Structure 1
Amino acid sequence: MVQFDLFGEVQRKLDERARQRKTAAAKPQPSPAPAARRRRRAFPPDPYQHASKLAENVITAWFSNYGGGRMDIPLGTVAALSFFREPLIADWLLTLQPPDFVPLLKEIWGVQWWFRPDLIETARPLIDWIHEEPDEYQLKAVRAVAHTAVNTGLFDITAQDDPYVRSSADILSPLLTGLRHKSDKKWRGEYHTPPCVTDLMARILVHADHGPSIREPAVGSGGMLRSAAQALREQNLNPHDYAWFGNDIDHLATACAAVNAIIWDLGPKTVIWRGDSLATDDAGLTDALKERAAIIRHRNAVVEQARFEHKARHMLSALDRLIEGAAA
């Protein structure tokens, strides 16, 4: 069984970010890359087709190995793997056995909760199945899904350091809609806007004089937000300078949008929630903001408690060594 260290991984990430900030501060900052050069960055020739092929292969792997109506399991597996930023981890992932995936996925979601608890709470529908003690057949299907996603080139998009490359396609949208039964999709009216259309709309609507926030009242998995963020970057604007608001009535769609908001690096002012835009004037935005603030306060309390316990253990260890030295 593979063992994982959540707090060790979090501390490593914090230390690495601190080193990066110091290094960046010591060097002169280059001017932003021109939009033309940004568009020439390397990613799959047709990212949208790449995402569609990945979804097709994952769906085949899932139904070939398990089937049933559990959309959350394959969606949650691919979503979790999308957080990796090191392409070379693919070789290691392919060596894992079915039981290894539960602790791995718990670790991945735990680390992400540490940094973005608000978005990860919205993504709960993709996570909760891990705590249901999946049976051996489900775990074999999870391994098949993970292997298929890796071998089809998931990391060609999601494991890139540059958020512009990671945002070249929505890898969860075709998977979400493909897993949905046709009759269920028709009943829900779930038809995600094609990315070529959202890209065109974003290039028309998003510009330097755009207001401080971007709102999508039927966010789906976040396709319009992705296109808007790409349009901003192509104009040398930073998505972190904007507030992003997105809601949808479907819990799996908003879960995917929350994950995508992290993958696409929309920034700290991003709020994704489940809400019906036809039911209330603000579709629950007020409640979503209150819940987000409460979640972040809870995370901060957990962090403070963890730091206190770490310091306490360190002090007790030092005291034990002092006592042992005095006794000798």
Structure 2
Amino acid sequence: MRARPDLLPAAWPLVQPWLGADPPDDATIDAARRVAHAALNARQLHLTGTLRRRDIDLFGPLLVKLRADGARLAAGQFYTPGHIADALTIGLMAGVEPGESVVDPAVGTGGLFRAAAQSLRAQHIDPASMLWIGGDVDEVAIACAAVNAVLWQLGPNVVLGVGDTLTDTWQTAAIAQRREVLHIAERLHAAAFAADVLGTVARLVDAASTERAAPNPRT
């Protein structure tokens, strides 16, 4: 997320336990370790570690398994299998031009975004040339979509927001938040660069001063 500060607010539910003021407890650390071992044993790196990661949404089925059916039905959450998402987007993405927007107001973990990106690649269009806008009422699903946006290489123009698309102005709020975060990141980057330059200058001055103060062996 350091390389993508624009996605940090969306990904925060997944990042916060590790970067928050209170460090994760031993139970959380142990659970994370066991999940990592299970992923390695299931050879998940063969998916996430290669371009095959573009072909699958690992987070979608995971959330389905973690949540009770009643909770998902109450929230109106349904996971769209990958092959169905692929079939849906073939017609939707036909004739799309670079620079256009792809909008999903019930994006979930981003399954339709993945399928749309693959459809674009089949048309020799770089998904990074598009604007991706997705919203959902589930902040955890949005956090997963933020991670997926990086895995699927959707590019730098991804806007994700939490809100009810029927009542909330989530899209306007998400765009404004992204703009503010990028502005802050730019200022921090400039400040860090200035500090690095000043540090280099200080080291050069100190080295020059030390060299001048050193006794001349010829005298």
**Highest Rg: 1 or 2?**
2
One-letter amino acid matched to 2:45:
F
Q: What are the within-5 Å matches in structure 2 for residues 142-153 of structure 1?
A: 142-153=32-43
Report whether the alignment pairs 1:314 with 2:200: yes
Question: Are residues 1:167 and 2:54 paired?
Answer: yes
SS of the equivalent of 1:322 reads helix
Aligned residues: 211
RMSD between superposed Cα atoms in Å: 1.5
Unaligned runs of 5+ in 1: 1-111
Return the alpha-carbon distance in structure 2 between the equivalents of residues 122 and 135 of structure 1.
23
Distance 2:96 2:115 in 1: 17
Report the CA distance between 1:210 and its aligned residue: 5.3
The one-character-per-residue Cα deviations of 1:53-109 (angstroms, maximum 9, x if unpaired) are: xxxxxxxxxxxxxxxxxxxxxxxxxxxxxxxxxxxxxxxxxxxxxxxxxxxxxxxxx
Q: What residue is the counterpart of 1:76 in the other structure? A: none
1:199 aligns with 2:86: yes
Q: Within the alignment, does 1:295 sit opposite 2:181 as a pair? A: yes
Partner of residue 217, structure 2: none
- Correspondence 1:234 to 2:129: no
1:126 aligns with 2:27: no
Code of the aligned partner of 2:135? N
Identity score, percent: 34
Distance apart, 1:186 and its partner CA = 2.3
Q: Deviations over 1:207-247 (max 9, x none)?
A: 23458111101000000110000011112111122111110
Q: Who is 2:27 aligned against?
A: 137
Q: Is it true that 1:249 corresponds to 2:137 in the alignment? A: yes
Aligned residue type for 2:79: H
**Structure 1 residue corresponding to 2:48, chosen from 158, 177, 181:** 158
Amino acid in the other structure paired with 2:77? E
CA distance in 1, matches of 2:131, 2:31: 38
CA contact (8 A) 2:133 2:158 kept: yes
Counterpart of 2:9, as a letter, is E
TM-score (norm 1): 0.62
1:266 maps to amino acid:
L
**Counterpart secondary structure, 1:191:** coil
* Amino acid aligned to 2:160: I
TM-score normalised per structure 2: 0.91
For residue 72 of structure 2, the aligned residue among 175, 178, 185 is: 185
Unaligned runs of at least 5 residues, structure 2: 215-219
Q: Which residue of 2 aligns with 1:275?
A: 163
